Amino acid sequence: MKKKILLVLLIIATGSVYAQTETYKSGSVLWKISGKDLSKPSYLLGTLHFKPREYLDSIPGAKAAFESCEQIVGEIPMSDMAALQAQMMQAMKMPSDTTYKTLYSDEDYKFVSDQLTSFLGAGLEQMGFMKPAAVQLVVVARAYMKYFPNINLTNTLDIRIQSDATKEQKPVLGLETADDQIYALFGIMSLQRQADVLLCGLKNMAQSMARMPELLDAYDRCDLNKLYQQMEDDDNCPSTPSEKDALVKDRNNAWVKKLPEIMKDKASFIAVGALHLAGEYGLLNLLEKAGYRVEPVKP
Question: What pLDDT, on a 0 to 100 scale, did the predictor assign at position 20?
Answer: 41
- How many domains is the chain built from? 1
Q: Which residue segment(s) compose the domain that 89 sits in?
A: 2-296
Question: What pLDDT, on a 0 to 100 scale, did the predictor assign at position 7?
Answer: 45
- Please classify residue 162 by burial: count the beta carbons closer than 10 Å to its beta carbon, then call 0-12 exposed, 13-18 middle and 19+ buried: buried
Question: What pLDDT, on a 0 to 100 scale, did the predictor assign at position 149?
Answer: 75
187 conformational bin, left if phi > 0, alpha if psi -120 to 50, beta if neither: alpha
pLDDT in tens, the chain (299 residues): 444 444 444 444 333 333 344 567 889 999 999 999 899 999 999 998 778 889 999 999 999 999 999 999 999 887 766 677 788 888 999 999 999 999 999 999 999 999 999 999 999 999 999 999 999 988 888 887 777 777 777 778 888 999 999 999 999 999 998 888 888 889 899 999 999 999 999 999 888 788 778 888 889 999 998 887 776 645 678 788 888 888 888 999 999 999 999 999 899 999 999 989 988 899 999 999 999 999 999 87
Query: Taking the model in full, what pTM does it have?
Result: 0.87
Instruction: Please check whether residue 282 is in contact with residue 276, taking contact to mean a CB–CB distance below 8 angstroms.
Output: yes
DSSP string, 67-102: HH-SEEEESS-GGGHHHHHHHHHHHTBPPTT--HHH
